[in-house]
């Protein structure tokens, strides 16, 4: 006896996805599907299970990275041109105030 093919609703419920997500996955050829007609998609449970098995990855736990702390007054790299520009503007403003 042949296996019963799944509908978009059944697959969406099984994977915890939306129907739109299923349709997009099929459109982009990420999810294996059987096109019965122009408006009818079905999914083989065996193919879906095989596809899910291929998608499995082994998670390797990494040690959390300690964030790099910077003091608020520390100048950033490559800001000398910006600082020169600001210094020139300040000097120009001082000259105009003295006039």
Residue 80 to residue 73: CA distance in whole angstroms: 15
Q: pLDDT value at position 79?
A: 58
> Residue 75: pLDDT band by 50, 70, 90 thresholds?
low
Residue 94 to residue 60: CA distance in whole angstroms: 59
Residue 6 to residue 50: CA distance in whole angstroms: 15
Q: Where are the alpha helices (DSSP H) in 16-79?
A: 19-27, 45-55
Beta-strand runs (E) in 1-99? 34-37, 40-42
> Residue 1: pLDDT band by 50, 70, 90 thresholds?
very low
Residue 83 to residue 77: CA distance in whole angstroms: 11
Quick: pLDDT tens for 13-65.
999 999 999 999 999 999 999 999 888 999 999 999 999 998 887 777 777 77
pTM beyond cutoff 0.75: no
């Amino acid at each position: 006896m042949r296996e019963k093919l799944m509908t978009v609703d059944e697959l969406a419920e099984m994977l915890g996805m939306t129907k739109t997500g299923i349709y997009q996955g099929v459109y982009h050829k990420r999810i294996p599907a059987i096109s019965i007609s122009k408006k009818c998609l079905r999914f083989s449970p065996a193919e879906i299970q095989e596809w899910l098995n291929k998608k499995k990855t082994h998670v390797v736990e990494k040690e959390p990275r300690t964030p790099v702390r910077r003091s608020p007054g520390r100048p950033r790299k490559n800001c000398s041109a910006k600082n020169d520009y600001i210094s020139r503007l300040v000097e120009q403003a001082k000259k105009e105030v003295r006039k």
